[in-house]
């Protein structure tokens, strides 16, 4: 018989575990949900009286406000959370390895292994353990081996894969109305029953036909495959944007035309300065490493090209800024609007802005940065990590963090739009123009602003995927 889940523990209070389990708590008031994390400051933020949560996600505060203290709890007591739970989500970080075998490609599963060993050490009763982190195919096998080798008598562990398919910025909407919930299990009686137990949790608000149950390995691979396919679309449209700039075609018009094909569809066909975030690049590199490990070099090369095209797009855009500004930006001031990898999130992982700013620094330009959500400390950490050989004091001599878009643009030669925040549409561009050095340039890396309108004000506008500034 499937276990009736009454208590859930989530190990990891990050971008996946926090929002996912907060929504589970909201939709399942009969289930106690405890999210545990060893990071005291992060847990304190989740518990803060003024709901100054450690993650910015539209709608998340409302969810936490309704469920916290009722059946949603945040704690650093990992052992208690494990011991009391029927079902445990493992939602820890799986960054790309920086050293050792597979460095630069393979996922670092150290936190997954540590969490798995902790579960085995602490658990005094049988548990359903659910992979929520994005992991390489067949990670569940190693988790099961660790659990079985270290389990106490009469304790059994059933492993499930339940990857998340959230888009930062719309995560709460995605959780409320998911395209699908994917649950992978072993094809044993116990595995199928564990799968049913988790499916019953989601069935409290997700229609039955959107809860997909598959084999364990298929579930793990599906997550990597989904992100790889989405990133591939972005790199494809970005490759076409380069052709548009060279031929006089308009990437907006091209994307609109091909998006009408029902076999293709319109989503993820917006050209940009490049994709970022915690998933796309990491998951594709993971897929590359998996392919090479399976002796499939042609497959590995195919997926590697998606990432290489993304890096090319960033370099191409920063070079276009330099070329347009009379082949030098030395001593010039560049305003970079947006530092998060996309709008409606504070996440900066693999943000295109980091690469652009590093390139501008190398050209000895001065850079003003403004982002409405990213903390100053995060910006300095990212820039320092991007240029590890340059002391932070030297970086701060070239880079200034501003508190408004108007402030960032003052006395600048050029404005670079790196993130598609809606507030950048509402900027008083006439005021911006007055405060800038002339000629004043705008480089739209997100197809965000009305180039014709800005040109009439006096700006020289360069838009990604278009051949040149719009004529007045």
Cα distances (Å, whole numbers) of residue 360 to 242, 337, 416: 21, 14, 11
Rounded CA gap, 239 and 345, in Å? 26
- Would you state the torsion angle of the CA atoms of residues 450, 456, 458, 460, taken in this order, to the nearest 10 degrees? 50
Rounded CA gap, 23 and 68, in Å? 11
Rounded CA gap, 289 and 109, in Å? 14
Rounded CA gap, 365 and 318, in Å? 12
Q: Tokens standing for 365?
A: 């330009």
Which of 244, 279, 402, 409 does the annotation list as catalytic?
279
Rounded CA gap, 231 and 196, in Å? 32
Rounded CA gap, 313 and 305, in Å? 12
Give the Cα-Cα-Cα angle 8, 11, 14 (nearest 5 degrees). 115
Binding residues for substrate: 164-168, 223-227, 263, 270-276, 341-342, 446
CA atoms within 13 A on the CB side of 8: 30
Binding residues for NAD(+): 12-17, 37, 42, 92-96, 133-134, 168, 279-282, 349
Which residues contact residue 467 at a Cβ distance below 8 angstroms, ignoring those fewer than 6 apart?
244, 245, 246, 247, 248, 249
* Known active-site residue 10: no
Binding residues: 12-17, 37, 42, 92-96, 133-134, 164-168, 223-227, 263, 270-276, 279-282, 341-342, 349, 446
Rounded CA gap, 257 and 272, in Å? 17
List residues with catalytic annotation.
Answer: 279
């Amino acid at each position: 018989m499937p276990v009736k889940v009454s208590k859930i523990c989530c190990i990891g209070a990050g971008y996946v575990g926090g929002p996912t389990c907060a929504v589970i708590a909201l939709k399942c008031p009969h289930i106690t949900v405890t999210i545990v994390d060893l990071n005291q400051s992060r847990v304190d933020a989740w518990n803060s009286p003024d709901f100054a949560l450690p993650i910015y996600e539209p709608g998340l505060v409302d969810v936490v406000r309704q469920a916290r203290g009722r059946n949603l709890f945040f704690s650093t007591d990992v052992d208690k959370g494990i011991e009391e739970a029927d079902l445990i989500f493992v939602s820890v970080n799986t960054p790309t390895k920086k050293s050792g075998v597979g460095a630069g490609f393979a996922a670092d599963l150290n936190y997954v292994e540590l969490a798995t060993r902790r579960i085995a050490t602490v658990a005094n009763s049988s548990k359903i353990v659910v992979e929520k982190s994005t992991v390489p195919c067949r990670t569940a096998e190693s988790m099961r081996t660790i659990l079985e080798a270290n389990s106490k008598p009469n304790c059994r562990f059933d492993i499930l894969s339940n990857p998340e398919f959230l888009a930062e910025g719309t995560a709460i909407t995605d959780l409320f109305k998911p395209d699908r919930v994917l649950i992978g299990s072993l094809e044993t009686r116990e595995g199928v029953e564990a799968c049913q137990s988790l499916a019953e949790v989601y069935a409290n608000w997700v229609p039955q036909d959107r809860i997909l149950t598959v084999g364990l390995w298929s579930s793990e691979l599906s997550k990597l495959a989904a992100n790889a396919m989405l990133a591939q679309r972005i790199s494809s449209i970005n490759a076409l944007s380069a052709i548009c700039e060279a031929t006089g075609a308009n990437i907006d018009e091209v994307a609109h035309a091909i998006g009408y094909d029902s076999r293709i569809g319109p989503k993820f066909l917006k050209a940009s300065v490049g994709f970022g975030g915690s998933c796309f690049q990491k998951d594709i590199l993971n897929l590359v490493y998996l392919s090479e490990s399976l002796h499939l070099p042609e497959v590995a090369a195919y997926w590697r090209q998606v990432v290489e095209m993304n890096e090319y797009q960033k370099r191409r855009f920063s070079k276009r800024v330099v070329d347009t500004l009379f082949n030098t930006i030395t001593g010039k001031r560049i305003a970079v609007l947006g530092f998060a990898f996309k709008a409606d999130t504070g996440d900066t992982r693999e943000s295109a802005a980091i690469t652009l700013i590093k390139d501008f620094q190398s050209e000895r330009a001065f850079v003003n940065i403004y982002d409405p959500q990213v903390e100053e400390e995060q910006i300095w950490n990212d820039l320092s990590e991007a240029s590890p050989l340059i002391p932070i004091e030297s970086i701060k001599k070239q880079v200034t963090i501003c508190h408004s878009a108007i402030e960032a643009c003052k006395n600048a030669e050029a404005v670079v739009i790196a993130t598609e925040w809606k507030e950048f549409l509402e900027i008083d561009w006439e005021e911006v123009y007055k405060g800038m050095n002339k000629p004043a340039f705008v480089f739209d890396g997100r197809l965000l602003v009305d180039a014709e309108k800005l040109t009439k004000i006096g700006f020289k506008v360069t838009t990604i995927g278009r051949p040149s500034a719009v004529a007045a």
